[in-house]
A and B are shown apart, each in its own frame.
Chain A
C-alpha cells in the first residue's frame, strides 16, 4: 500500500542524546516536510525539501537538521536533544511545489525528551 511511513512511533530520549526520526514515502513525491505539533501552536514547519538533493529551513529549524539523499527518504536529526523538543513530529510529502497538490501525512512520532 502506497503511503508515507514514520519511525519510530514513539520514543523517550535522554537530554543530550542524538536521535534520528525516519520518514519514507513510496509515492515518488518531490516535496517532503517535517513539522512539529504542539498544543495551541498547531503545526510548525521545521525543514522542507522541494526535491532530492535540496533542503530548506522552515519556521523553527534550530536544533534540527535534515538530508535528502534520494526521493524516498527524509530523515530528521536532533543532534543533542533538549526537553523543549518534546513534541509530536509529522512528516509529509506532496507531488510538487506548484501548490496545487495534496500533502500526505505520516502517523506521527511522539518524542519525549527527559
Chain B
C-alpha cells in the first residue's frame, strides 16, 4: 500500500523539543522526507533520509528511521515560535517505473510562547 500516516496536531512550549511521528506501509520506499508548510505557502523540504540510514542530524533537526517498524520521526530541538507550521512526512519509492512521491496528512505544530 501507499499509506503514510501522521498525527494531526502537536502543541509544545517555546524552548521544548518537538517530536513529530510518521508511519508508512511500503517497505520498498528508498527515501523518506520531511517537508514544512507555512500558512498560505507551498511546501519546502526540511530534510530527508535514505532507507539504509537510522539517523540523520542537521542542526536542530534529528530524523530517526526504524525501518523494521516503518516508523519515521522528526525531532526539533529548542522549538521556536517560527517553527509553527504544518509538517509533512513523505515517501519516495525510488523505483524507475513509478516515481511517486506520497505525503501524509500533515502534523500542525503549534508553539506557545
Binding site for B on A (CB under 8 A): 31, 33, 35, 40-45, 48, 50, 56, 58-59, 90, 92, 94, 96-100, 102-103, 105-108
CA distance A72 to B76 in the complex (A): 36
Taking CB atoms, residues of chain A closer than 8 Å to B88 are 42-43
In chain B between 40 and 81, which residues have their CB closer than 8 angstroms to a CB of chain A?
Answer: 41-45, 48, 50
Query: Residue A90 contacts which of B6, B43, B98 (CB distance < 8 angstroms)?
Result: B43
If A35-B103, A42-B88 touch, does A97 touch B98 (CB 8 Å cutoff)? yes
The reply to whether B105 and A42 contact each other, CB–CB distance below 8 Å, is: yes
Q: Given the interface contacts A99-B30, A105-B44, does A45 sit within 8 Å of B100 by beta carbon?
A: yes
Using A42-B105, A43-B106, A90-B43 as known contacts, say yes or no to A99 and B8 having CB atoms under 8 A apart. no
Chain B interface residues toward A at CB < 8 A: 2, 4, 6, 8, 30-31, 33, 41-45, 48, 50, 88, 92-96, 98-106
Name the A residues within 8 Å of B31 (CB-CB).
99-100
Question: Which chain A residues border B43 with CB–CB below 8 Å?
Answer: 43, 90, 92, 103, 105
Which A residue sits closest to B89, measured CB to CB? Answer: A42
Cα A47 to Cα B102 with chains together (Å): 11
Distance in Å: Cβ of B23 to nearest Cβ of chain A: 13
Establish whether residues A102 and B105, one from each chain, have CB atoms under 8 Å apart when the complex forms: no
User: Is the beta-carbon distance between B94 and A107 smaller than 8 angstroms?
Assistant: no
Q: Evaluate whether A42 and B99 lie within 8 angstroms (CB atoms) in the complex, with A59-B2, A102-B45 already known.
A: no
A23 to B41 CA separation, bound complex (whole angstroms): 16
Contacts A48-B99, A58-B100, A100-B50 given: A41-B105 contact, CB under 8 Å?
yes
Q: How far is the CA of A15 from the CA of B105 in the complex (A)?
A: 27
Judge whether B103 and A43 touch: CB under 8 Å: yes
Contacting residues, chain B, for A105 (C-beta < 8 A):
42-44
Assembled-state Cα–Cα distance A53/B44 (Å): 27
